[in-house]
Chains A and B, each alone.
Chain A
């Protein structure tokens, strides 16, 4: 999956779209659409709403393209529009909870100690061909508190850097790091024991590091 942004392509594309080559917008937005959808799914918890909000986001990006300043990355800007779209919908539904507002402080509350193990056998990514494993991981992510899930989504799933993630979510880089750390700890604790059965049973190559 190519997620690497190409600022020159983007800048050139934006110039040409604003000059009238509107069809190029399809190519401009394409590399962002996955991240838009999953960020909105993470905020709205509903596929149909997330899809509709994703379409609305893309249209807003198009309509406001002239407002994009090259001082942030295009994808970051797009995701902050997506996030506003999602939070706006929650507000309308009166479902805007404290944690979606990012009002939660990154205090010391909560237990983020990992599951303690004495050995680990690598579960290869190919195992994800098994729906059962993919579902297990999806469920663990779905069950994270919103503020942690959003960070995992941008940092680990969309592979955005700390600075971009902070800008897209409107939080500090420090918060991104703290939340990511906690999210990974929660996921490890939730998943480690369940993942064991997906490790290769035996063999010389499958062991540990």
Chain B
């Protein structure tokens, strides 16, 4: 089966997650060999996913963990009977 660009875009997320079957993966790989647009779309999407996942993007507010465990400790103590 031949796949076109739109078809590739529809499966990009699944492709990145390794969630496409072997036949579709082969079709997409073949398309990517000759289509610079899909290659760039795939690379940029993958890059975005990696950056989004980085712990530096979302950081807990300063002191969050300390305050959480302090409140928990109070709860734990109050149930200590």
Report which A residues bind B (CB closer than 8 A): 1, 22-23, 25-26, 29-30, 33-34, 37-38, 47, 51, 54-55, 58-59, 62, 113-120, 122-123, 125, 128-129, 133-134, 137-138, 141, 152, 156-157, 159, 177, 180-181, 184-185, 187-188, 191-192, 195, 208-209
Contacts and interface: CB of A to CB of B under 8 A. Distances in A.
Nearest to B32: A209
23 contacts: A22-B79, A23-B76, A26-B69, A26-B73, A33-B64, A37-B64, A59-B75, A113-B6, A123-B47, A125-B54, A125-B56, A128-B51, A129-B56, A141-B52, A156-B52, A177-B13, A181-B10, A184-B12, A185-B45, A188-B41, A191-B48, A192-B44, A195-B44
B48 A138 contact: no
B71 A1 contact: no
B22 interface: no
B33 interface: no
B43 A209 contact: yes
Given A55-B68, A138-B57, 8 more contacts: A29-B72, A55-B67, A62-B75, A116-B37, A128-B54, A128-B57, A159-B53, A195-B51
Contacts of A118: 36-37, 40
Contacts of A188: 41, 44-45, 48
A2 to B, nearest CB: 11
A177 B14 contact: yes
Contacts of A54: 64, 68
A137 B72 contact: no
A83 B24 CA distance: 36
Contact of A195 (B48, B54, B73): B48
B64 to A, nearest CB: 6
B19 A177 contact: yes
Interface residues of B, number: 42
